[in-house]
Chains A and B, each alone.
Chain A
Amino acid sequence: MNQVVVHPERCVGCMQCMLACATAHSRNGTLFGATLERPQPKPRIHVGAGRFNEGFPNRCRHCQPAPCQSACLAGAINRIASTGTVMINLDRCINCASCAMACPYGVIRFHEDPFGPPNRPIAVKCDNCSNRVVKGLIPACVEVCKAGALTWEAVDDAMRRKNREVARAMTGEADCPNVPAGVALLKFIKRAELELNER
């Protein structure tokens, strides 16, 4: 079972994933068409600024158990057993934002959605691109990310590699974390600039 794995240390903050995500969740399906659509399709992955202004891609982790699911006042959140994806039922959601309180990552947004009920905001979050995956495609954010910050892989492999990277970072081995040289430099500069400003 593949999942999207986020490698924040590789993110360059280009926000291509946000555009790809919004496009993938539009009725039109192309970037240009999506910009003209009403209601406006919006991304479900959010690149925010980290502590040192570095890019930080944030999306639903499809937690198990999912705190939003037990907090949902309308029974609108459930998990698809076969894929592990946590889904919000567009028809049942009452836009109460109880899930925003429950989500420890702050990844749920509230607005009208091209596929949602007309003129009624609802809770919107990552659905693991379920509609693409059934067609044999990979999630749009992964497809577009050229920095390797988002990957689509079996959770066990990904987790193992991730743990190795973190472990190496802790022991301070020279070759880690495994980030391309250019990215590391970019992050270093951003961090230095910020620290200078805050002095």
Chain B
Amino acid sequence: MKHVIIGNGIAGVSAAEVIRELDATAAITMIGDETFPPYSRPMISYVLEGSQSHAKLPIRSADFYNELGIEPILGQRAAGIEVESCQVVLANGATVPYDRLLIATGADPRPIKADGLGLKNIFYMRTQAHAAAQVAALDNARKAVVLGGGLVGFKAAYGLLKRGLAVTMLITSGYPLAMQVDLVAGQMILAEMVRHGLTVEVGVTVQGFAGSKRVEAVVTDTGRLLDCDLVIIGKGVLPCRDFIPKDRVEVDLGVVVDEYLQTSAANIYAAGDVAELHDLARDCRWVNALWPEAANQGRVAGYNMAGIRLAYPGSLSRNVMRVFDLDVLTVGNTDPRDEDGFVTVSTGGQANRFYRRLVIKEDRLVGAVLIGDIEQGGVLRALIENRTPLRLPAERLLRPGFNFGQLL
């Protein structure tokens, strides 16, 4: 049996480990763009903020491929898949045949269109190389502009504030993390960031960047100049699926997979940031581009590729963030705006620096936001993920002493 895995992020690595656990002799080939040893992508934001060194990024040994008997093809991207003849085509034209194929190519930063993108000190934030370049640019930087208030934009702004830079964040919604949290939590997060020096501008469109060699200002569509010497672009991510033949493999925003993480094509699987699958809280297909999802999906895809049929019940959005002195935890569908049939209960708010909001549909919890005292967040996550009917009134889950024992 010959397994080929495209992508050497956590989804690809987890799948390879499971396949090797189950089958000592199977041939495994990994095709990966990045040549750095398997590393923690989320940790690059800790490198930017300065709490962790770049040297701490690897989460597997430098000898990973050798130890697991994997043939690595690193430093180039897969350019195509020939579904008919079961082979992957590389950028240099070479082909790699497979019996089972895993697409674990993750996502790339969503590119922006603007003039002057080639100036120095304008960064995306996705790879260890980006982090290293950002840190190298910090020495001479005082003023930064961050484009985007999603997860990556938020982490970029947070890291730069921690480094002592003056940071301006340009966002389209009224508060950061609008996809993750509701209005109350969003405003609490915003206030905490502003308290630590963040400037926020809402509804500004960037037209380009000005400067001679290095970026010196962001140019808005109204012609205004925002002085800066460093820019991080965090306008979301796009699944890496351009090389996939869409007439042979169903692709929506991500690569569509069933509960066995199999694509619409025989013997081809997908997992991680590139995969689109059933979302447990939203009850529809969704791309949940998150580390625990990628790790678990990778493992389950590995089982199925090795011939053990194992279902993945579905994905779930979830996030934990430390925002200076606020701890924020969000899970599931936290803000069902126009939809019917949802009930929300909440306690606390801005004045308390403590907040809890639960979203309930029929007798089940479908979303939660916690600010402060986040330790029991996993219990709520499990309730959502297991679709457990609530035996307690929702108000009891809001109380400070709530714990797992009360569910028994």
Residues of chain A having any CB pair with chain B under 8 Å: 8, 46, 48-51, 56, 58, 67, 70-71, 73-75, 92, 94-106, 108-110
Contact = CB atoms under 8 A, between A and B. Distances in A.
Given A102-B292, A103-B379, A106-B376, 15 more contacts: A48-B404, A50-B405, A58-B404, A67-B292, A70-B299, A74-B40, A75-B59, A97-B329, A100-B374, A102-B381, A105-B378, A105-B379, A106-B375, A108-B378, A110-B375
Contact of A97 (B40, B46, B322): B322
Given A56-B403, A56-B405, A58-B405, A75 B374 contact: no
A57 B401 CA distance: 13
A73 B42 contact: yes
Interface string B287-328: 000011001100100000000000000000011101000010
Contact of A48 (B52, B327, B382, B401): B401
B399 to A, nearest CB: 10
A101 B375 contact: no
B381 A51 contact: no
Nearest to A9: B408
Q: What band does the interface of chain B fall in when counting residues whose beta carbon is under 8 Å from A?
A: 35 or more
A75 B60 contact: yes
A94 B377 contact: no
Closest 6 CB pairs of A and B: A56-B405, A75-B59, A104-B382, A48-B403, A71-B292, A103-B378
Given A74-B59, A106-B378, A97 B405 contact: no
A97 B403 contact: no
Contacts of B403: 46, 48-49, 56, 58, 106
Nearest to A76: B59
B392 A70 contact: no
B368 to A, nearest CB: 10
Contacts of A70: 14, 292, 295-296, 299
B142 interface: no
A56 B408 CA distance: 10
A77 B233 CA distance: 32
Contacts of A46: 403
Nearest to B320: A97
Contacts of B295: 70-71
A101 B320 contact: yes
> Chain B CB within 10 Å — which of A48, A106, A108 has the most?
A106
A58 B408 CA distance: 12
Interface string B198-211: 00000000000000
Contacts of B212: none
B51 interface: yes
A75 B40 contact: yes
Given A70-B295, A73-B40, A101-B318, A49 B401 contact: yes
Nearest to B405: A56
Interface in B2-52: 14, 40, 42-43, 46, 51-52
A67 B377 CA distance: 14
B406 A51 contact: yes
> Chain B CB within 10 Å — which of A74, A95, A110 has the most?
A74
B56 interface: yes
Contact of B42 (A56, A96, A101, A102): A96
Given A73-B43, A101-B378, A106-B375, A94 B52 contact: yes
A98 B376 CA distance: 12
Given A70-B292, A70-B295, A100 B405 contact: no
A68 to B, nearest CB: 8
Contact of B327 (A75, A97, A106): A97
Contacts of A56: 403-406, 408
Nearest to B327: A97
B404 A106 contact: yes
A98 B296 CA distance: 14
Contacts of A49: 401, 403, 405-406
